[in-house]
């Protein structure tokens, strides 16, 4: 049996941590007025809907690529264009379920193996996954500023 | 010997991950014009200097509390008020070194033990530490919007 270096978080806890963040991001989406979700922006940045397009193009598809060791290019385009916030929430919930399903297929050894995500990011899988979480927290933090600028109180950061 | 559940990241890698984020946050501080660092804000939010006060009050002091199992209340006040960005950068670098020093004293068992951080947040230490990182990424993401609103291009998110 392979001896593992002593490490500090279980796969189950890391998934729970990520899905906790994803639940908060969902509440941030909900907090936006319909129009502002698609249109409001500051300093030439993308509106929150476009940031969510990015997060949707990473989460489930990236994890699927990892689990199947199948390198697909990064792709934000989709056959059907989403034009309502409710459609984004639906896609978000689908991704939640898909992430849970793919996660079950990850073995403990996988986390330290290297994978060339989207054919561009060749890192140990644990670092790809931490990047997904960090990237989501980063963009959601930007969404908090949009909400504040719109006079809307965002959800508490520590609510998951 | 206690059997550890199989886990996915080593303490060394987690420290490197955190310090990588801290190096990026330092570059975001550097990107702010002196005056805007202390004064610019959107939607009634704190200026970036105040957000950095929060991060400085967490990082090194929180880790010190954890390592010594010494419960101290959260405290952003300091004897000397910082009035220049250069002073913040100096404090930031001091915290970097302190975090490294405290980290060496963490044992692998510590991460899953519970600690009542600041007498308020009773969680496993690993979750306290992940919270420090997430909270930093969250506030730094807000700093990115401030910079964009000021017409300044922030550092690349993936540069660590």
Per-residue pLDDT of A63-112, as tens digits, reads: 999 999 999 999 998 878 899 999 999 999 999 999 999 999 999 999 99
Please tell me if residue B21 touches chain A, with a CB cutoff of 8 Å.
yes
Please tell me if residue A126 touches chain B, with a CB cutoff of 8 Å.
yes
Helix (H, G, I), strand (E, B) or coil at B123: strand
**CA-CA distance, B44 to B25, in Å (whole number)?**
22
Burial grade of A12 (CB within 10 A; 0-12, 13-18, 19 or more): exposed
Identify the bridge partners of residue A116 per DSSP, sorted by sequence position. Answer: A122
Per-residue pLDDT of B60-93, as tens digits, reads: 999 999 999 999 999 998 878 999 999 999 999 9
Please measure the distance between the N-terminal and C-terminal CA atoms of chain A and give it in whole angstroms: 37
**ipTM score above 0.90:** yes
pLDDT at A2 over 70: no
Find out whether B109 and A109 touch, Cβ atoms under 8 Å: no
Q: In chain A, which residues have their Cβ closer than 8 Å to the Cβ of B5?
A: 10
Contact yes or no for A108 and B8 at CB 8 A = yes
**CA-CA distance, A92 to A83, in Å (whole number)?**
14
Please tell me if residue B120 touches chain A, with a CB cutoff of 8 Å.
no
Per-residue pLDDT of A24-67, as tens digits, reads: 999 999 999 999 999 999 999 999 999 999 999 999 999 999 99
Give the pTM: 0.94
Q: Which of A82, A107, A96, A100 has its CA nearest to residue A23?
A: A96
Q: Is A3 left (phi over 0), alpha (psi -120 to 50) or beta?
A: beta
Helix (H, G, I), strand (E, B) or coil at B28: helix
Q: Of residues A158 and B129, which shows the higher confidence score?
A: B129
What phi, psi does A107 have (nearest 5°)?
Answer: -95, 165
Kindly report the average pLDDT of chain A as a whole number: 94
Find out whether B18 and B129 touch, Cβ atoms under 8 Å: yes
Helix (H, G, I), strand (E, B) or coil at A121: strand
Contact yes or no for B148 and A6 at CB 8 A = no
Complete domains list, chain A, with CATH: 11-75+83-149 (1.20.120.450)
**CA-CA distance, B48 to B53, in Å (whole number)?**
9
Nearest CA in chain B to A148: B43
**CA-CA distance, A84 to A111, in Å (whole number)?**
36
**CA-CA distance, A129 to A112, in Å (whole number)?**
11
Ranges of residues in chain B with a pLDDT under 50 are 1-3
pLDDT at A5 over 70: no
**CA-CA distance, B120 to B139, in Å (whole number)?**
21
Q: Provide the 8-state DSSP code for A92.
A: H
Please tell me if residue B126 touches chain A, with a CB cutoff of 8 Å.
yes
Neighbours of A121 (CB within 10 A): 14
Nearest CA in chain B to A16: B127
What is the predicted pLDDT for the residue at A8? 82
| Residue A134 CA: distances (Å) to CA of A76, A113, A137, B123 | 19, 20, 5, 21
Contact yes or no for A42 and B14 at CB 8 A = no
Contact yes or no for B108 and A14 at CB 8 A = no
């Amino acid at each position: 049996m392979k001896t593992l270096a002593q490490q500090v978080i279980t796969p189950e806890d890391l998934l729970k941590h990520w899905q906790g963040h994803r639940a908060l991001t969902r509440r941030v989406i909900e907090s936006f007025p319909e129009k502002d979700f698609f249109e409001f922006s500051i300093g030439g940045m993308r509106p929150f809907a476009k940031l969510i397009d990015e997060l949707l193009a990473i989460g489930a598809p990236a994890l699927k690529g990892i689990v199947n060791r199948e390198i697909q290019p990064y792709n934000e385009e989709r056959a059907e264009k989403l034009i309502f916030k409710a459609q984004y929430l639906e896609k978000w919930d689908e991704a939640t379920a898909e992430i849970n399903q793919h996660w079950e297929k990850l073995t403990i050894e996988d986390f330290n193996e290297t994978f060339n995500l989207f054919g561009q990011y060749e890192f140990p899988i644990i670092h790809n996954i931490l990047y997904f979480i960090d990237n989501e927290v980063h963009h959601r933090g930007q969404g908090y500023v949009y909400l504040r600028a719109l006079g809307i109180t965002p959800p508490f950061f520590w609510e998951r």
